[in-house]
Chain A
Amino acid sequence: MKVIVNVSLKAGVLDSQGKAVHHALNSIHFENVKDVRVGKQIVLNLEENDEAKAKADVTKMCEELLANTVIEDYTIEIVK
């Protein structure tokens, strides 16, 4: 089972990389860009058929290692 985890800085936490990318996009004339947030994507290949179990395991992985919940949020997407 393939599981995609997206990790990004929390809404209230300033994203300096996003700001720099936003500025760069504006400067190459994409003036319609109003905000940019940069995150990271972690793609996991699990040996698991039980979706609920996979979700529970990956949640634990996020809490313990993949995200730092002091500053980051994460989303989990299960792709079959």
Chain B
Amino acid sequence: MKVSILQFPGTNCEYDTKYAFEMLGAQTQIVWHKATSIPEDTSLLVVAGGFSYGDYLRSGAIAKFSPVMQAVKEYAAKGGKILGICNGFQVLTEAGLLPGALKRNESLHFLSKHHHLKVENNDNIFLTKLAKGDVVNIPIAHHDGNYYIDKAGLAELYANNQVLLKYCDAEGATKNPNGSVDAIAGVCNKEKTVFGLMPHPERAMEALLGSNDGVKMLQGFIEA
């Protein structure tokens, strides 16, 4: 199992991501944005969190034109598995690999705290270790995490089980921290090969640091 982790200027979660996947037994490799190909035998490509290109213009907008993104699109077209976390989710929506867009949080505040999430669908390689309705506690850290999609797009997400996670309280009741449409925290593409979420499972790998619920999430990819 080899996990390749993309690094743009301004990415800052690549080493947490590396730590998380190595802890789960995967081999990892960090791929600089100037690369023109994805390392062979990559079984999962992670677009890590951070502030690529300083979030100038819009979060993820400049990163989508990095040299490596052409290779990412080709990798996706061949059915390669991709996970975008936080800024990585923003990059994937900007690149058109995931539906919707991420707007400024409704409160206009940068949010940095643990938040509960409810599993909406698990018929995908990502959340196989969790059951529908399971609640996990995962850190969020974003300014632009307010997920938007129009009505037609939203209906399509539901019809294809593309809504992965929703924000909730500890009991699983809806609690929306940032104004996202239907409190959506993560989605996947129709083919269920490209995944994106605002919360940071790679920061929830050690109980000592508040939660290790990220283990159950990322493990899905390992045994896929």
Contact = CB atoms under 8 A, between A and B. Distances in A.
Contact of A66 (B57, B106, B107, B149): B57
Determine the interface band of chain A, counting residues with CB < 8 A from chain B: 10 to 19
A68 B94 CA distance: 7
B148 A13 contact: yes
A33 interface: no
B94 A16 contact: no
A26 to B, nearest CB: 17
Contact of A68 (B58, B65, B106, B107): B58
Contact of B65 (A13, A20, A65): A65
A52 B138 CA distance: 51
Interface centre among B61, B62, B107, B179 (most CB of A within 10 A): B61
Contact of A14 (B101, B106, B150): B106
A20 B93 CA distance: 26
A31 B62 CA distance: 39
B107 A16 contact: yes
A1 interface: no
Contacts of B108: 16-17, 20
Determine the interface band of chain B, counting residues with CB < 8 A from chain A: 20 to 34
A37 to B, nearest CB: 13
A65 B107 contact: no
Contact of B57 (A17, A20, A65, A71): A65
A68 B101 contact: yes
Interface string B50-68: 0000000110011001000
B65 A71 contact: no
B100 A70 contact: yes
Contacts of A20: 108
B78 to A, nearest CB: 24
B57 A13 contact: no
Given A65-B65, A70-B100, A70-B101, A16 B106 contact: yes
B162 to A, nearest CB: 15
A70 B61 contact: no
A66 B58 CA distance: 9
Interface in B24-81: 57-58, 61-62, 65
28 contacts: A9-B103, A12-B150, A13-B103, A13-B148, A14-B179, A16-B103, A16-B105, A16-B106, A16-B108, A16-B146, A16-B179, A17-B104, A17-B108, A65-B62, A65-B65, A66-B57, A68-B58, A68-B61, A68-B94, A68-B101, A70-B93, A70-B101, A70-B148, A70-B149, A70-B150, A71-B101, A71-B103, A71-B148
Interface of A: 9, 12-14, 16-17, 20, 65-66, 68, 70-71
